[in-house]
Structure 1
Amino acid sequence: MSLYDIEVTRADGSKEMMSKYQGKVLLIVNTATKCGYTKQYEGLQEIYDNYKDKGFEILDFPCNQFLAQAPGSIKKINEFCQINFGTTFTLFDKVKVNSKNAHPLYKYLKDNGPEEVVVSHDALVPSGKPKDKISWNFTKFLISKEGEILYRFSPKVTPEELLPYLQKTL
């Protein structure tokens, strides 16, 4: 099984295969609208605006597993993101990222990806978090055009801090 064999559900309820994104650099993010990191939506949108024409996509998967910080319907989440941050990248239905009920995409990312990293003095260092758990909202996975999971960024890593890694991946 590869990343591209996984089915996901868009915010509008339609199903699609991850193979739709084959050949693109992806940033997959589990998000929340009531989180201390919610302001990262602004930086994510800026990066998306600057790189979407270069084969880059952000895939936004809201998750309510961390202190119920993604409350409400997916429609309300979409409205919140568009009104407050002008988001235009692809929003998917809410998912679970941990537990036996974790979405297959997140099971795959955890099982096949590297350990979580933070940026310290312009270098990546392990965060020390367990590999089999998503630590919090706004964990970010950077995926190559070939579907390789290159980086797993801690929620603390801002979109601006991950930009150099995105640029070298593109």
Structure 2
Amino acid sequence: MSTDPRTIADFNATLPNGETISLADRLGKVVLVVNTASKCGFTPQYKGLEELWRKYREQGFEIIAFPCNQFGGQEPGDADEIAAFCEVNFGLSFPLMGKVEVNGPDTVPLYDWLKAEAPGLLGSKSIKWNFTKFLIDREGKVVRRYAPTDKPAALEKAISRLLSSSRT
């Protein structure tokens, strides 16, 4: 982990309609940030993410999903197509943001920060594939990065622990 004093509150996100929102209201919540895609082998993880969100949202847990088309062109749709796919196939009710880039020169600032705070294997900064997950505590600090192969259920203990140990 770096010693960067910033928190998730220092960043914005763009909604599917193009509106920019501050992530400052996420302070005090346990947040899972994940880059997603509708046509990926990991897409069934939407179901597990939805289950986690439904189980813990009343305790202050939030998921922020960022569709991304950088890995094999697996998120080609527009915002309406993505939302419809997720709702019909997975009953998704947590928020989807607008499409982003998580690597390269057009990486959104939030992802630059996430990657610096929790590098991947051997210290690599780049996101390797869809469904890379970042767990953030109630103070807005990155706790851990999870690989695309880490199923949402595998994060439940860490989420529960953060929710119970850091009440605000």
> What TM-score do the two structures reach when normalised by structure 1?
0.89
1-side partners of 2:52 and 2:123: how far apart? 28
**CA RMSD in angstroms, aligned pairs only:** 1.1
2-side partners of 1:81 and 1:48: how far apart? 14
Deviation string, structure 1 residues 15-52 (Cα, Å, up to 9, x no partner) = 11110211110000000000000000000000100000
1-side partners of 2:41 and 2:142: how far apart? 26
Higher relative contact order (CA 8 A, sep 6+): 2
Whether 2:60 is the aligned partner of 1:55: answer yes
Q: What residue number does 2:88 align with?
A: 83
> What TM-score do the two structures reach when normalised by structure 2?
0.90
Identity across aligned pairs (percent)?
42
Whether 2:41 is the aligned partner of 1:36: answer yes
Report the CA distance between 1:74 and its aligned residue.
Answer: 1.1
Q: What residue number does 1:74 align with?
A: 79
Whether 2:116 is the aligned partner of 1:138: answer no
Give the number of aligned pairs: 158
Segments of structure 1 that go 5 or more residues without pairing to the other structure are: 117-127
Report the CA distance between 1:108 and its aligned residue.
Answer: 0.8
1-side partners of 2:25 and 2:122: how far apart? 31
Query: 1:129–1:135: 8 Å Cα contact kept in structure 2?
Result: no
2-side partners of 1:129 and 1:45: how far apart? 30
Q: What residue number does 1:166 align with?
A: 159
Q: Which amino acid aligns with 2:155?
A: L
Q: What residue number does 2:148 align with?
A: 155
Report the CA distance between 1:8 and its aligned residue.
Answer: 0.9
Q: What residue number does 1:124 align with?
A: none
- The SS at the match of 1:77 is helix
Where does structure 1 differ by over 6 angstroms across 4 or more consecutive aligned residues? none
Query: 2:8–2:26: 8 Å Cα contact kept in structure 1?
Result: no
Q: What residue number does 1:23 align with?
A: 28
